[in-house]
Structure 1
Amino acid sequence: MTRTTVTIVAAALATAGAARAEVKTQEIEYRQGDTVLKGFLAYDDAAKGKRPGILVVHEWWGNNAHARNAATKLAKAGYVGFALDMFGEGKSTTHPEDAKAFVAEATKDPAVKKARFEAALEQLVAQPQVDREKIGVIGYCFGGGVALDMAREGEPLKALATFHGSLARSSEPAKEGTFGPRSILVQTGGADPMVPKEQVAALEKEMKAAGVKARVITYPAAKHGFTNPDADKAGMAGLAYDAKADRRSWDELLKYLKAVFGR
């Protein structure tokens, strides 16, 4: 067999393998009490064995294409991604006033917020592809704050990462032995008026007191929503997409998840 033939055969085999590997996605309807919630599951159907599951908590816009795209990218990276619904009925919006109303409704009762998160967690760990002992969460904007609060309240999480996430506490501070992740990754914009440096400093102090290693990465020119290609469409001065920060922050997430889960 000539070298050229070997190369062609190898390329054909690689193409065949790529064809067999397929990310499957599906809508999942579930409930918290009487509230219907609509999540989005993504996993690589060709992967063997159980793997870590990662919850994706959406921005204040709702469980839209941005959150679902993150779940799909997690599946391509070897995880099971589940973009959960904190607002109910899969509601989403592009209008800031609607977004504020959605957040206010979802967070007015802390017990409801926790119950909606736990309902999504229950759906994720029930998936046959998921190693229920290896669960993480990523959160964007509003979702970053939700992720942190749920970890503070003792949810069984091994990894936690936020992107331009709200860092102000709305629950009791993290406590050593209760806060699940041993380390967290926080990625924020240096030009983000919604997450000022005082919030970042307060979070670092809180995590240190709880014995949690917090790695904070600041992208100096990035504004709020820097991972969302539609951020500029909102018409808010503090929001803007930043392609470079988006790419780098995703790469940093994958490195962090690999360090936690070993894959």
Structure 2
Amino acid sequence: MDRSGDAAPIPQEVFDLYDAYCHGDLSRRGFFERLGKYAVGGLSVSALAACVMPDYARQQTESGADGLYEEMLVYDSPRGAGEMEGYFVRPADADGKLPGIVVIHENRGLNPHIRDVARRAAQAGYVAFAPDALYPLGGYPGNDDDGRAMQATRDRESMVQDFMAAADFLKGHVATTGKVGCVGFCFGGAVSNLMAVRQPWLSAAVPYYGGWPDAADAAGLKVPLQIHLAGLDDRVNAGWPAYKAALDAHDANYEAYIYPGVNHGFHNDTTPRFDATAAALAWSRTVEFFDLHLR
């Protein structure tokens, strides 16, 4: 995706720099300094940075969309933060109980894009619940840079426990059938992988370009798993062969898709990493997978 109209496409190296910055491998100062190499043809560093930063005005499913009921709900996370909050959304005219899906955000809190993904899950006929790992720190601060810095101060295992508690909460909610799956992106993809091996009662887990559990954990995997990976995502994909071998060795119930020529974050339609074709295919597969295992 190119936000600059007829200008030249953004070089792949810029996406790689942004990925390193997003995941803590490059400081903000280092990110802007290295962008200088690619700020050519009258394009300033700040303008180039703006091309790869999220633009949440692009979200497709507006809050309050017709046919959806939504609210913020507090729940208990006894092994995590203690008290947590999440965005709860379901079809307003649901006839009876529905399966539930926990939607797990990236490494920056419950931003508008993840709320939007939760609404899409609800529009597909599910009760969706998207916790905010930043709730104990005051909640998502309104921008990803501050959200990323805030989330980095939280203990990772505590956050994993918070999302596992959200699945327990959704399982027992009066609006659900008790069947629950999870879907997560980046950090949330890694958490989805962990939940699949730690919560064997889950009905399905769908990690998008997330890190991997220890290969030894694959031996106990009982949860149907659908994995989505970006072809250009060398950082995450480096760990896939070893985990795939472990899954295969234990005849795990999984399917995996690698989308050629797309970047980490290709499903996020608020950034230029978005690939409309790959994102649509991945999401259709996700919904079909949940329909198969949660209905």
Whether TM-score is above 0.5 comes out as yes
Note if contact 1:158-1:180 (Cα within 8 Å) is conserved in structure 2.
no
2:252 to 212, 218, 223: 212
Q: Percent identity?
A: 26
Counterpart of 2:283, as a letter, is W
The equivalent position to 1:191 in structure 2, one of 219, 232, 238, is: 232
Q: 2:187 aligns with which of 134, 142, 146?
A: 142
Q: Any residues of structure 2 matched to 1:75-224 within 5 Å, and which? A: 75-88=122-135, 89-91=138-140, 93-95=143-145, 99=148, 102-103=151-152, 105-107=154-156, 110=157, 112-132=158-178, 134-166=179-211, 168-169=212-213, 173-176=217-220, 179-181=221-223, 183-196=224-237, 198-224=238-264
Match of 1:244 in 2: 277
CA contact under 8 A between 2:227 and 2:256: conserved in structure 1?
yes
C-alpha displacement at 1:79, in angstroms? 0.9
| Structure 1 position 54, deviation (Å) | 0.6
TM-score scaled by structure 1?
0.77
Give me the CA root mean square deviation.
2.3
Classify the secondary structure of the residue corresponding to 1:175: helix
Report the Cα distance in structure 2 between the residues aligned to 1:227 and 1:91, rounded to whole angstroms.
21
After superposition, the C-alpha distances for 1:5-31 in whole angstroms (9 at most, x for unaligned) are: xxxxxxxxxxxxxxxx82111111334
Gaps in structure 1 of 5+ consecutive residues: 1-20, 233-239
Unaligned runs of 5+ in 2: 1-65
- Partner Cα separation in structure 2 for residue 170 and residue 94 of structure 1: 29
Q: Which has the higher contact order (CA 8 A, sep 6+)?
A: 2
Cα deviation 1:90-126 (Å, max 9, x = unaligned): 335422x85265145231xx3x234312331233123
Task: Pick the aligned partner of 2:94 from 20, 38, 47.
Answer: 47
Task: For residue 57 of structure 1, report the CA deviation from its aligned partner.
Answer: 0.7
Q: Distance in 2 between matches of 1:50 and 1:98?
A: 34
Note the alpha carbon deviations across 1:109-160, whole angstroms, 9 max, x for none: x3x234312331233123222011x110001000010111122223521101
Please give the secondary structure, in 2, of the residue aligned with 1:195.
Answer: helix
Distance 1:66 1:221, change over 3 A: same
One-letter amino acid of the structure 1 residue matched with residue 287 of structure 2: L
3-state DSSP class of the match of 1:194? helix
Residue by residue, what CA displacement relative to the aligned partner does 1:148-196 show, whole Å, maximum 9, x if unpaired?
1122223521101012222x326952223xx341x21111110113312
Q: Which amino acid aligns with 2:284?
A: D
TM-score (norm 2): 0.69
Q: What secondary structure does 1:203 align onto? A: helix
Residue 26 in structure 1 maps to residue 71 in structure 2: yes
- 8 Å contact 2:103–2:131 — kept in the other structure? yes
Task: State the distance in 1 between where 2:214 and 2:112 align.
Answer: 27
What is the CA distance between 1:202 and its match in structure 2? 1.9
- The equivalences for 1:244-263 within 5 A come to 244-262=277-295
Distance 1:114 1:191 in 2: 27
Q: Distance in 2 between matches of 1:22 and 1:173?
A: 40
Aligned partner of residue 174 in structure 1, secondary structure: helix
Change (3 A) 1:28 1:98: closer
CA distance in 2, matches of 1:42, 1:116: 19
Q: 1:48-95 deviations in whole A, cap 9, x for unaligned?
A: 122211101101121111111111111111111101123334335422
Whether the 8 Å contact between 2:215 and 2:246 is mirrored in structure 1 is no
